[in-house]
Chain A
Amino acid sequence: MVTFLLRLVATLLHIGLVFALAPLLMGLVTKLRARLLGRRGPPVVQPYRNLRRLLHKTTLVPDTATDLYSIWPFVCFTATAGAAMLVPGFSLGLLTANVGDFITLIGLFALARGATMLAGLESGFGFGGAAAAREALFSVFAEAALLVILISFVLIAHSPTVDGVAAAFRSGHLGISVSLGFALAAMLAVALTETGRIPTDNPSGHLELAMVHEAMLLEYSGRFLLLFEYAAMLRLMVWMCLIGTVFFPFGMARAGEILTWPGGLVLWAGKLGVMAGALSLFEIGTAKMRVFRVPEFLGVAMLLGVLAGVFLFVAARIGG
């Protein structure tokens, strides 16, 4: 009973922290990136201010939009929020652990993406449609790559949930495996695409023709835009949590033991900080690629995922 209560508290704490810190993480990445480029950059809390500003703006609805215009932001936000609740952050053994199957997670990402694409098509103008078509193309490869990576996780960890995979990887006797290296590279490529970061899309871009994620939201304003923006911040958080939990599960707390929480929280914050730094370093080092180069980029990720699986099979053959 006590364990259950502790797990409940840990789950609520996790959900609260993820939702509260997602804008801060986005602000941190923007700030670090600006500093690395030699600029001062907006303050770290700028995303909170943006959200607050949107809260106080009137919501405009284009006259060509249908009645479903106001549904898509909620669907997108809800699916992303669901994913945020399922991916463990500072602690393992949360109450949502059993629901958090990798394939459910992929499905939730797909749901959020579908709602965003429909939002782009909603008012029937060219920019949103073009961006949605590009997003559809990217998602084809991203989803395939993610599924292929999953095969190595499940074969190594014998568990299909994020929690189970992290627990198996944390126990440590796996050592450093070539397969997991490939899987990490592939997962990073997918994560960059899904969160709309630089080699595939530019979150701070201003040219409508070159934008993907932002161009789908051009006709949105006020509280609906807030939901989309917040969902984008949450998505960055979810992917960082996912990569941190799966590939760097060391030091994660156990939800049933309250004494392990502070260490877990500190390490989690540290991991997020390091990943934010790595992301901004990567972003200033690369340029955005052409739309039709992205399938090649993600195709490489898919190939790496397949290679990770093949190495595992060969290793099992030699070892067993």
Chain B
Amino acid sequence: MRLPARRLVCYGLGVGNSFALMFGLPGQGMHLRLDALSVLFLCILVPQIVASALAERRGSIAFWVFAGAMVLTLLAGDAFTLIFGFELMSAASWLLVLRGDARPATLYAGMAMFSAACLIPAVFLPAGSLAFMLVLLGAGAKAGLAPLHSWLPRAHPAPPAGVSALMSGGMVKVSLYILIRYAFIEFGAAAQPWWGSVLIAAGAASVLIGALRAMLEVELKTMLACSTVEHAGLIAVGLGIALRAKAMGNLDLASLALQGALLCAVAHGLFKPMLFLGAGAVKKATGTTSLDWLGGLMRGMPRLGMLMLAGAAGMAALPLGPGFAPEFLLLHAVIKAAATGGILARIGFTALLAGLGLSAALALGAVVRLIGIGFLGRPRSLHAAAAGDANRATLAGMGLLAALCVPVALLPGVVLGMMEPVIQLLAPNSAPAPLSYAPLSLFLLLAAAAAAAFFGLRRFAVRGTREVPAWTCGFGSPPAWLPFGDPLTQPSATGFAEPVRRAIARGVLAPQGVDPAEAYLLFPLSQVSLRLTRVAEYIRRSTMRQRLAFVFAALVMFLLALGLSEGG
């Protein structure tokens, strides 16, 4: 018991202002502690909890246990408290998933147990490659990093929207927090460049698969969950570059990549919960989240639609949105990284950049699909046509997150300045270059152009508009019993994704568009488990004679082995 005890205590000694609680492990207690990193992640977490609670989940005990457990994990000052909070978070979220939909709950529980089985030994092991890999497997599985991501698009959409929002925006961040804390601080001295390479590879695979599936999925919440996989991957790519650069002594690159990764975490923690809350409101108003049954929601739900548009601009990393500055920093970090290291690493970074470009455009396509099919155009069902705007609480929750997006979008330099202590904690003595993306000047330029266009048209063009039946290249107007036209004549979400499915998904995904992790990892595993179950069942059902034969054969084998080893 001596070794774990020492590790438990020394975790908290880094800063020296830990705070002991009176309960916990006998003789140890539980320690809470606040440093720059946990403050940053608390700042990411708290607005989401407030917004989710505002929007819908005030009365649920499991929700508050879930939220409290996440806060406890971030505040943990020793490894026991950290694991305790993390597992409490898993258990509470499992309960919430189970209440929403029982089917993915088993998979979710299995993944949570796997990540616990990796994390618990890892935090008590001495710093080294084995411990890092275990932390990466444990925290990465929970954060949805490929190839252990396939549970995420199933489990995250299952519970009500407020919980989905917190799972996607918060739980993933808490897992990444553990990864950052161990990779950069606890095991920082033993770090090796290949740790970063592994993290980059896992992140790149998640980015590509997440973005591609976000483009293909028809269910709104599943699509958002796939996009979460993408963003977790982006953060992991940034962290991986930073880890590699730090181990190789290139602190400037490390700080640039860290800036990108942490800003991405901040931005994603704002716009993704917003989108999930909006998806919940859509579900409440129309009874479905399938894009193929929505359409024209902007008419019935204008305020929700505008908030969704703001969140979607962040998700697609469009300029002047909250998602652009992190993407900018990450792409620059990849380009800088391509100038370092061996030739294979450089080619790898070039390929990584191509992959990030593909995913960025796919994310834009996914967002256009989400807004264009779901909120614009004609309704595809009566429920969509009759949808009323979301209730005030949901709008307030989303509005809070949208308001917080504004400084991230327009003043990322200030946000990065506030993050400076975290960067210094993770990459000591680095001097990050100032951000070369200037959203304010860009905003002024664009505002000038827009104003010129607006006033020019007001002055010189014919004013006013006239509402007419749509032209549609001369096709007839729809019959009277279909006021919005036949839904089958409209572009559908499935159809919109078809070109991408034909051109890209066939090469990247497994046959029938199944996630490769599911087809090549989960399915074989379930086959093995099935076969083992059959063997166990066969043994259990064996007759007395067969059992005696087993015992006898075992005895003979044992004696044979003994005799051979003694004789030889």
Q: Which chain A residues have a beta carbon within 8 Å of chain B's beta carbons? A: 55-68, 70, 74, 77-79, 81-82, 85-86, 96, 98-99, 101, 103-104, 107-108, 110-111, 113-114, 117-118, 120-130, 132-134, 136-137, 139-148, 150-151, 154-155, 160-161, 208, 218-219, 222-223, 226-227, 291-292, 295, 302, 305-306, 309-310, 313-314, 317
Say whether, besides A58-B462, A129-B490, A110 and B445 are in contact (CB < 8 Å): no
B window 413-455: CB within 8 A of A: 436-438, 441-442, 445-446, 449-450, 453-454
Q: Of the candidates B346, B357, B436, B441, which one forms a contact with A146 in the assembled complex, judged by CB atoms under 8 Å apart?
A: B357
A306 touches B350 (CB 8 A): yes
Summarize B's interface: helix, strand, loop or mixed.
helix
A305 CB contacts on chain B under 8 angstroms:
354
> Of residues A67, A110, A208, A314, which shows the largest number of chain B Cβ atoms within 10 Å of its Cβ?
A110
A110 near B318 (CB under 8 angstroms)?
yes
Instruction: Enumerate chain A residues within 8 angstroms of B442, measured Cβ to Cβ.
Output: 82, 99, 104
B565 interfacial contact with A, CB 8 Å: no
Q: Which residues of B contact A219 (CB under 8 A)?
A: 470-472
Which residue on chain A has the smallest CB distance to residue B346? A313
The CA-CA distance from A278 to B430 in the complex, in Å, is: 49
Among A291, A302, A306, A313, the one with the most B-chain Cβ atoms within 10 Å of its Cβ is: A313
B403 part of interface (Cβ distance < 8 Å): no
| Contact (Cβ within 8 A) B468 A130 | no
A122 — which chain B residues lie within 8 A by C-beta?
372, 376-377
Among residues of A, the one whose C-beta sits closest to the C-beta of B344 is: A313
Contact B298 A67 (CB under 8 A): yes
Report yes or no: B446 in contact with A124, Cβ–Cβ below 8 A.
no
Task: Kindly provide the distance from the CB of A140 to the nearest chain B CB, expressed in whole angstroms.
Answer: 4
CB<8 Å pairs between A and B, sample of 8: A55-B462, A63-B467, A96-B445, A114-B367, A133-B499, A144-B354, A145-B354, A227-B453
A125-B472 in contact (CB<8A): yes
Interface flag for B10 (CB, 8 Å): no
B317 interfacial by beta-carbon distance below 8 Å: yes
Among B361, B367, B502, contact of A292 (Cβ-Cβ < 8 Å): B502
Q: Which of B's residues lie within 8 Å of A, judged by CB?
A: 215, 295-296, 298-299, 302, 305, 309, 316-320, 324, 327-328, 331-332, 335, 338-339, 343, 346-347, 349-351, 353-358, 360-362, 364-365, 367-369, 371-373, 375-378, 436-438, 441-442, 445-446, 449-450, 453-454, 457, 460-462, 464-473, 475, 484-485, 489-491, 495-500, 502-504
A317 touches B354 (CB 8 A): no
| Given A78-B453, A107-B324, A124 and B491 contact (CB-CB distance below 8 Å) | yes
> Which residue in A64, A74, A150, A302 is a CB contact (below 8 Å) of B378?
A64
Chain A residues with Cβ under 8 A from B353's Cβ? 147-148, 150-151
Total number of residue pairs linking A and B with CB closer than 8 Å: 285
In the complex, the answer to whether A132 meets B372 with C-beta atoms within 8 Å is yes
B461 and A55 form a contact (CB under 8 A):
yes
Q: How far is the CA of A129 from the CA of B380 in the complex (A)?
A: 14
- A68/B319 contact (C-beta < 8 A), A60-B466, A99-B441 known: no
- With beta carbons under 8 angstroms apart, the residue of B302, B490, B502 that contacts A125 is B490
Which residues of chain A have C-beta atoms less than 8 A from B373's C-beta?
A: 121
- Nearest chain B CB to A315's CB is how many angstroms away? 11
Least CB distance from B270 to A in Å reads 19
**What B residues does A70 contact at CB under 8 A?**
465
| Chain A nearest CB, measured from B332 CB (Å) | 7
Closest to B302 in A: A67
- Interface centre among B350, B356, B375, B454, by most chain A C-beta atoms within 10 angstroms, is B350
By a CB distance below 8 angstroms, the chain A residues around B496 are 129, 132-133, 136
Contact B346 A130 (CB under 8 A): no
B206 to chain A, nearest CB (A): 17
A62, A82, A98, A226: most-surrounded residue (chain B CB, <10 A): A82
